[in-house]
Structure formats: C-alpha cells, structure tokens
Amino acid sequence: QKNETPEILDRFRVQYVNAISNGLYGIYAFSSKNGIINNKYTSANADAGIYIGQCKPCSTLIYENQAEINGIGLQGANASKELYVYSNNFSDNRTGIQFLSETKEKKSPQESVYIVSNTASNNNNGQAPTTKPDLFGFGIMIAGGNKNFIQYNRTENNDLVGIALVENGDFLPSENTFENNISRENGVPFGFDLAYIISGRPDVMSMGNCFTSNSFSSSSIDKIESVLSCSSAQPGPFKSQPLKKITIPVAPDYTQVPPTQMNKENKPGEIDMVPKKLGKITKPDLSDLGAPAA
C-alpha cells in the first residue's frame, strides 16, 4: 500500500551546520528515520529552516536549533511517531512551527509528535522570504494532525495566533493535547493566544483535542480550558470565533535577504567524535524541561 513505502535513509545526523539563503529548505529530512538534527542555525530559507516529512515512525530528535528569518522555522508534513522537538528557538520567522497532514506526500495523517519547551515568538517577520505567503503570524500550528503533545512552549507576540489548531483540507485535527504552554500577547487585535478553528465552520467538535494549565489571555473558544478540559471534555459543538484579516507584508526574494550570522557560538563538541554508526533513537528524558524564559 502506498503508505508503506520504505524509508530512503536510515540513521542520520545533521549537527553544527549553518543553512542560509536557500530557495526552499535549510535542512530537509524526507522519508528518513533514526536521525538527529541538533545545534544548527538556519536563516533566510524561503520554505522552512528545518523540514521533516513522510516518516512514520520518524524516530528523530530535533533539539537545540535556532531558526529565524525563514518562511517557517520548522515544518513537519506527515511526520509522525517517535519524533521529539524540544529546546529549540523558532522565532522571528513568518511562522514558527507547523505540523500538518497532507495528500502531497505519503504516510498521512500526521500524528504523535512531542513538541516540548520550544520558543516560537515574534513570528511576524515581513523581511523573511516565503513560498507560502498566507502563512504569517503564527507561533505553533497543528494543521490536521492527531495525537500530538504540545507542552511547555513559549509563544509571544505573534500577530495572529500563539498556538493554533486547524484543519488542512479534509484532514481534521483530533486528540491533540496542549498543556503548560505560555502563550501571551498574541493576535492583538486580530487573533488569539490559543485558537481551535475549522475554516468555514462557526462551531467545532472536541474531537478529543484538549487544553489544560496553559498561561494565556485570549482564545477563540470562550473558556476553552473548561469546555475542552483534558480530563472531562464534552463532545461539543463549541462556538469558535474566526481570525480577523490582516495585511500580510509582501515577502522579498530569498536572494535579496542579507546573510545573517549566528549570535552565539556552537555548543562545545568535536564533530570528529560523533559515532560513525547511529543506532535506533529512543525517547529522551523530557521530564525536567519547562517553558523557556522570556
């Protein structure tokens, strides 16, 4: 069956890399598994600074990276299971993080990713290039994904939504958990800190999606943590307010974005010491991670 296509690449590392000013992606991990993407810097990439897609299970760690001035800081399309995104900074892009289900690639739907302790703030950068001009002003977006865990992230000062849960085509999001995130000063006055919106529908069903213990000021559903509690959510329907339209700045061509330089040194470590053979990735210990400092 088409969703059972074997992976092209098994075992990979991308570390200590600057990926700058590419027409599509900075780092592109497609149909791959058992990998590490760590301690890298991406800027001025028109599609995404980091991309991972068509993997189930991905069995990949994405951590301690910085992505800015990209169309999207991190994008995951049909990227599912054993995928851990933590302790990254995806700020000052047009959109910070997007995970989505889609039909262009195999292994849909997208599901079961841990997105923990990341910063995705100030993603309103009109000077960033893009291939998706309408994707602007979002901190973290789950589009038609299922069973994802979005925890202890900080999303502030994004023009439309700090944390958004939406559909993508015929894919409706279900069983996503949002807890202990700090989402403040987003969407003023156009959107929300937390949003669960299905285009063209004034009402949404719970679909097992839940919100608890988040720090926020505004949401598209009134009393969202009460009616979509992670312990006793009702099925719905719930009225969800739409986003207001904003004027999205025209993006420059990626070739016209001045090169940037990392503002910090690489973390210590000798690339020569990386083992030649990388074994199967296991779940990292995320228990000590909290929301990043402002």
Helix (H, G, I), strand (E, B) or coil at 25: strand
**Over the stretch 169-221, which tens digit does the pLDDT of each residue have?**
999 999 999 999 999 999 999 999 999 999 999 999 999 999 999 999 999 99
What's residue 31's pLDDT?
96
What's residue 144's pLDDT?
98
What's residue 132's pLDDT?
96
What's residue 274's pLDDT?
52
What's residue 1's pLDDT?
38
What's residue 2's pLDDT?
47
What's residue 27's pLDDT?
97
- Which residues make Cβ contacts (< 8 Å) with residue 238, sequence separation at least 6? 203, 204, 205, 206, 221, 227, 228
What's residue 16's pLDDT?
87
Q: Torsion angle of alpha carbons 244, 240, 91, 34, nearest 10°?
A: -140
Can you state the percent helix, strand and coil of the chain, rounding each to 5?
5, 40, 60
CB 186 within 8 A of CB 217: no
What's residue 6's pLDDT?
59
What's residue 265's pLDDT?
58
**Over the stretch 101-112, which tens digit does the pLDDT of each residue have?**
999 999 999 999
What's residue 37's pLDDT?
95
What's residue 234's pLDDT?
83
Question: Low-confidence residues of the chain, pLDDT below 50?
Answer: 1-3
